[in-house]
Structure 1
Amino acid sequence: MSRRRRPHAPKTLTEFARFLRTETVGGMVLLGAAALALLLANSPVSGVYESIRDTVVGPHFLHLDLTVGDWAKDGLLALFFFVAGLELKRELVLGELSEFKTALLPVVAALGGMVVPAVLALAVAWGDPRADAAWAIPVATDIAFALGVLALTGSGMPSGARVFLLSLAVVDDLGAIVLIAILFTASINFVSFGIAIVLLGLYWYLQRRRITTAWVYVPLVVAVWLAVHSSGVHATLAGVGLALLTRVKKDPYEREAPALRLEHRLQPWSAGVAVPVFAFFAAGVPVGAEALNRLVSDRVAWAVAIGLVVGKLVGIAGSALLAVRLRLGALPPGLGKRDLVAVALLGGVGFTVSLLISELALPPADAEVAKAAVLLASAAAALLAAAALIRRSKAHRAG
């Protein structure tokens, strides 16, 4: 029996195409920001770049005296995860992921894509005192870069590849943020954390009461971020929580649901400003002769690189194909096993969150080496994925 098409599917695909276009442009801007950071960090003006990045801005009240780099890491990335969370929830409720088995597959793939790289990284770095923190670095996939590579080189791929990749990347990035909250939070202020939970409950209540005024929501969202930040938990979790509590189904009198309306307004700022600014302050690592020599001989650097390039491919493709074989999940329409492998290669593009974990997990000197490994491994994974996607796109066009 043929599956009946959902009435809202064309609109969902149209919205996803718009999301993809914005993320593709954002990926290009992100690449430019990272390249500029590398150039400045390895130029005669590197001192100026570092001085700007390390300038403290903000009051001591609620621990808001942060460096410019930390503001980008804690503040701007919260916006990024809010927008990505909105898109994921909309796909789960209204889109292609509303079918249980189709929704389960990227979740299983994301879990495999976290566990296998972590195990590989831990095995490679075993015996190194930094291994107990460095294993978490290769667990995440960069949404903006990965979608950008897919859009530029996989134009002939079925739409299911894009939805699968977005879902996979969001789930494992959220998993990485949970790891940050568990592993890299020295202490939790339970009073602030409790306030954050209450404020999130208020946000949920206002959504259900159909309150739409920005005069209510803007102060509330800022208060949620402040409460999460002052609790000691990484502040990006505020964006995740708010996104998952936002209403995605529109009422008959509404032109757009709140999630879609917010996504339209905020996604360009997220893809075009928030993520590139974070990349600009996170990717500025020295790559001179001394740094490259250390990179080659550093076991943590090898652990990160192997975890991203090899571990992500094996973990994502292996767990997804096993789930399909056991009938726990179903491939999106039109997506074959070879297509899945090509998309799985993109999982090794671990730029944004992997850089974030590097900064949190390791001392500054070791973090620089780990970040250089992330950059090189992400570039290698992107090139391998691009070659595979071009080949699969040609096969789909010929077929």
Structure 2
Amino acid sequence: MGYTCDSAAESVAERLGFSCHGADPVISVRNPFGLADGTMPALELLVIGGAVFALVHAWRRWRRDGDPVNLSLWFASVVYLAVIEPPLYFPGWFGLQEHVGFIFSHNVFTVQFMYDRLPLYIVAFYPAISQLAYELVRALGVFARRGPLAGSLAVAFACQVFYEVFDQLGPQLRWWAWNAANEKINQPALASVPMNSMLLFASVSFGAMTYLVVRLVGRGDGPALTGPQIGWRTVLAGAVTPLAMIIVSAPSGAFRDHLGAQRAVLGVELAAVWIAGLYLLAEAWRASRAGEAAPVASPLFARTYPALYLGVHVVFWLVALPAYLASSDGVTEQGTPVGSLWYAALCAVAATVFTVAAVRATAPRTTAEPVRS
């Protein structure tokens, strides 16, 4: 398989301010203070630091508490990335050029892999966001009260609201760019973000992966799993996750030649994620107010990283807001497409409620029966 920088990839790269010709096939390193936008090194620090924090937390959960789910979910996220991302970057390598075409390109960050297509922070983003969502939902006791399916639905919703605060902002700040010429995959869209991406990548993938991990390695009544058993089940969960995305994409895919119908189907599916997620979040909030102790161990990650992630993204949005408000026809004066401010704000509100609810659920209570932490 040979690497090619075809005309579509070249055009998107030029819009981002770099050339895809002559890129190193393995790894390239750049000056973090010389990137296309000043928010980029801060984003890298936030996400890579979060992934490391999540890995330490996951290791403690396994070794101290005997629960391998966090650690399995962390590595399943990386396996999922290894399965799903290369075909998106190089569709011609996998015989997908005519079926999906060139979809998008990341900008060049401090550390890049695979011919400058894969930034290190994206490798870190998958385990960071999956752990963030899972820990919030676990801290709220949804898995303990409602089981793996409802818990995974809540994770899908948590990922939606935290992911889209990031996803709706990235194109404006040149973190990546969608290939506008690829209308088959990148339409319909909400502002600059394809609705297929909003549903499949921001919710379905993480919800399905969480469900698989919890069912495959979660503690039950049987004997504890060995390291090798956890390992192969983790790889299986990450590798199988894209199948769930294919299944969920079928209803909208049936209307591929009818953009309005496709938009309606995707809108209904996204609404279903919100309805189920808001119901489970409201139920968890009521349980917290009623004083039910959430079965939480090592709550530091859930009490700190989601708030940090959200707070930094609010700062990013404030930085981007003047150019957003001065934009015309969805494009800033710098020539970058804007996302949906109203949807990002709605997601930020829901993410704030998630964060506050988790902090309340894991806070020590002055009762006769202390909360286990």
TM-score normalised by structure 1 residue count: 0.30
| Larger RCO (CA under 8 A, 6+ residues apart) | 1
TM-score normalised by structure 2 residue count: 0.32
Q: Indicate the structure with greater helix content.
A: 1
